[in-house]
Amino acid sequence: MVAGLRVSTVHNGSGRSVYRTWFSCASTVLLCAYFPGCLLFSAARAESVSIITALLQTETQSAVGLKKEGMAALRDGNYPGAVRLFVEALTLNPNDPESTQFLNKAITDSGKPEAAIPVLEKALNSRPDQDSIRFVLAQCYQHLDMDDKAVQTLQRSNSALSHSPPWSFTTAFSLFRLGQYDKAEALFRQVMTVEEIRPAASFFIGNCRFGKSDLAGSLPWYESAIRLGAKAQTPALNAYYYNYGLVLFRLNRFVDASSAFFEASSLNPSDPLAPYFLGRSQADSGQTQDAIAIFEKVVEAHPNFSPAYYQLGVMQKRAGNEVQAKSAFAKVGEIKKAELADQRLLGEMQLGNGAAQENK
């Protein structure tokens, strides 16, 4: 993945349509399917439909019970239990988007997607046709930056779901992070027809162009993402402006970059990078005093962000303020020393021996 670029996802597993093909009672059902007008098989067809209906009703009832138990476990904070129960519910009834939604919630709330992976892998190994579980497993791999596994998992299916826009987007996201920009862009283009996905798809096509060093080619896609994202009020709009600003900055369009970074900073005041690059853009466009004011605000809000102190020192020196410049550069040194000391302490950490250790 390209260093410095922001990435975001718009899929969270909720509200997806899930498809499943039943293969039980195969011989009778296939005969009826191939010869629907043949009276010879009418009784067999009616019997097989009755059997399948009964099986579906039984499995759906069981799935509902498992989902209720999973919801109770989720409320109690028993995330491993909730994951197991929702997976079992989906194994019986993969056409239930609620179970998928709650499974994702249990994994997200636990903060431990790695703990869910063995459960999901076991369920998928026993029923490879369960693409709702396959999709959630791929997302868990993505959370752990295991994009190779995510792509492999997603590409092992050729069901109707595997050709759906959320599936294509999720595959493209991992391909992008693996640096396979052409393949990723092709998939992102496929989902541009879906209105809800268009802002994010435009954003990632821009990212793919950025990754291929096609800076000028990325601009229209970022502009489209910003326009569509503003209309849809997407939460990731700050990232759209930020990446747009990075491209403008690299193209030496500092005034335009300043506008983009200002918007990104306004949308996410807790992020030090957007105002930092706003300051850099103002500095490179000759607005030294504005840059000083911006960097001062950055270090006030983010006192351990050493790049901002360094740029503040550079700007103060440019303005002839030697005392302020030395102070800013000294702060950079202090932060670096503190970081090195912290790293050294972490490197020297050893397990103690309880009370015996305290008496030494």
Residue 45 lies in a domain: no
pLDDT digits (tens, 9 = 90+) for 165-210: 999 999 999 999 999 999 999 999 999 999 999 999 999 999 999 9
pTM, two decimal places: 0.76
Residue 202 one-letter amino acid? S
Mean residue pLDDT of the chain comes to: 82
Task: Give, as one character, the DSSP assignment of residue 164.
Answer: S
Q: What is the pLDDT of residue 158?
A: 85
Residue 214 lies in a domain: no
Q: What is the pLDDT of residue 180?
A: 98
Residue 86 lies in a domain: yes
Residue 180 lies in a domain: no
State the first-to-last Cα distance of the chain, in angstroms, to the nearest integer.
Answer: 49
Query: For position 133, which CATH number holds?
Result: 1.25.40.10
* Residues 6 or more apart in contact with residue 275 via CB below 8 angstroms: 261, 265, 294, 297, 298, 301
Rounded to whole angstroms, the Cα distance separating 54 from 337 reads 70
pLDDT digits (tens, 9 = 90+) for 230-277: 999 999 999 999 999 999 999 999 999 999 999 999 999 999 999 999
Rounded to whole angstroms, the Cα distance separating 26 from 132 reads 23
Residue 112 lies in a domain: yes
Rounded to whole angstroms, the Cα distance separating 118 from 191 reads 31
Residue 92 lies in a domain: yes
Query: How many domains does the chain fold into?
Result: 1
- Whether pLDDT at 218 is above 50: yes
Residue 96 lies in a domain: yes
Residue 151 lies in a domain: yes
Domain span including residue 155: 13-18+56-163
- Whether pLDDT at 3 is above 80: no
pLDDT digits (tens, 9 = 90+) for 95-122: 788 888 889 899 989 999 999 999 999 9
Higher per-residue pLDDT: 7 or 287: 287
pLDDT grade for 51, boundaries at 50, 70 and 90: very low
